[in-house]
Amino acid sequence: MKFLSYLLSLALVLGLANCATPGVSKDYGTAGNAAVTALLTPNDPNLPYPIYAGYNEIESLLQQNDGRTYVINFWATWCRPCISEMPYFEQLARETANKDLQVIMISLDRPGDVRTTLKDFYNNRPMTLPVVALTDDDFRSWVRRVDGGWTNGSIPVTLIYRGGLRKFNRGQISSYSELEGLVRTVQ
């Protein structure tokens, strides 16, 4: 009974969060589980995306084992190659909306920019993908935990995984077919 009450409370909270920011899409596809949904839910009432100060807070997004494919892109508003490849991630999310695939965009914008520059970018684009703002600027302490091949924190990078299968892509993805091919390597 307590579990049912918890689920109903969670649904109510999530429903109210969706009403908090009119005009901002909160449809994050078919989020695989409550933990992922919670991490993708805005945690600041003035922003349409969550902010996390430390990598440890979001690390579980890179370790899900729920039978779904996760496409995690690390980007920033100041990174031109990041912005250039963004339409491919949006297309992937649209074309796989009914499949077990979740695209998540992790912004590495500077801590001082997540409430201004990132918010303006998000609202003006408009973003249809879930965005997470990670303000942990001590890159050297966590980039290798994302992937051992990511040594210097340069972006864009994309991690695609399904359970124990992982594909890490350093650099800009140049086409939708390239992104599709990367996704196929873990499915």
| pLDDT tens figures, 53-101 | 999 999 999 999 999 999 999 999 999 999 999 999 999 999 998 889 9
Highest-scoring range by mean pLDDT, 10-14, 33-37, 77-81, 125-129: 77-81
Per-residue pLDDT band for 33 (boundaries 50, 70, 90) equals: confident
Contacts of 89 (CB under 8 A, 6+ apart): 71, 73, 103, 105, 129, 179
Question: 3-state class of 52 per DSSP?
Answer: strand
- Residue 2: what pLDDT? 42
Domain 2-184 has CATH 1.10.10.10: no
- Residue 30: what pLDDT? 46
Nearest to 52 by CA among 139, 128, 6, 111: 111
- Residue 161: what pLDDT? 97
- Residue 31: what pLDDT? 52
Per-residue pLDDT band for 23 (boundaries 50, 70, 90) equals: very low
- Give the mean pLDDT of 34-55: 96
- Give the mean pLDDT of 151-168: 96
For the chain, the domains span 2-184
Per-residue pLDDT band for 127 (boundaries 50, 70, 90) equals: confident
- Residue 20: what pLDDT? 34
In tens, the pLDDT along 97-116 reads 888 999 999 999 999 999 99
Distance CA 27, CA 134 (A): 20
Query: Residue 62 CB: number of other CB atoms within 10 A?
Result: 17
